[in-house]
Amino acid sequence: MKITLIQGDITKMEVDAIVNAANTSLLGGGGVDGAIHRAGGPAILEECRRIRDRQGRCAPGEAVITTAGKLPAKYVIHTVGPVWNKGNEEEKGLLRSAYISSLQLAVKNGVGTIAFPNISTGVYRFPKEVAAEIAIAAVKDFMAQDNRISNLIFVCYEKENYDLYSRILQS
């Protein structure tokens, strides 16, 4: 069981599942969501549409799973992070839930290796350091309870996030 940190593009990851920082519509957006749909092709959006027709929007803190189209990963786990708004405890809890829900769905689907982007730190404006602390605590707590994830990779697109994670993971 290990946690790995890299700086790069999550769409390139050869893992069982990559996590998408989606929005409640599940119908695609900018940032990492746009990159995943662009690289993965229309099959992912098609599945998202079917899920949405069946169960409606995906609430912040929850997650759904699809195949990964043309991506090297097997699955995409779409989770919705909270939008930062003054930083009340609800937002922090919802960010933690986004990580935990994704991991629960991952192990339910036999995923052993998983890559996460820095959920909510782009358009959703979560302060990067607060988000990093929450993300790292959430995955460590989960992995301490459940040994089915053998490798968890934080994929930071930006150097600022990479440096933050690097510092927090070392301490």
Figure out which of the listed residues 15, 19, 21, 135 binds ligand ADP, where binding follows CB under 6 A: 21
Give CA–CA dist 38/61, Å, rounded: 24
Figure out which of the listed residues 3, 5, 6, 35 binds ligand ADP, where binding follows CB under 6 A: 35
The DSSP secondary structure of 81-129, one letter per residue, reads PPPPSTT-HHHHHHHHHHHHHHHHHHHHTT--EEEE--TTSSTT---HH
The residue (of 75 and 157) whose beta carbon lies closer to ligand ADP is 157
Give CA–CA dist 29/16, Å, rounded: 23
Please say if 141 is a catalytic residue. Answer: no
The residue (of 32 and 149) whose beta carbon lies closer to ligand ADP is 32
- Taking each helix axis from N to C terminus, what angle separates 89-108 and 128-145, rounded to the nearest 10 degrees? 40
Size of the site for ligand ADP (CB under 6 A): 21
Is 81 among the residues that bind ligand ADP (CB under 6 A)?
A: yes
The residue (of 146 and 158) whose beta carbon lies closer to ligand ADP is 158
Query: What positions carry a catalytic annotation?
Result: 33
Residues of this chain that bind ligand ADP (CB under 6 A): 9-11, 21, 31-33, 35, 81, 117-124, 155, 157-158, 161
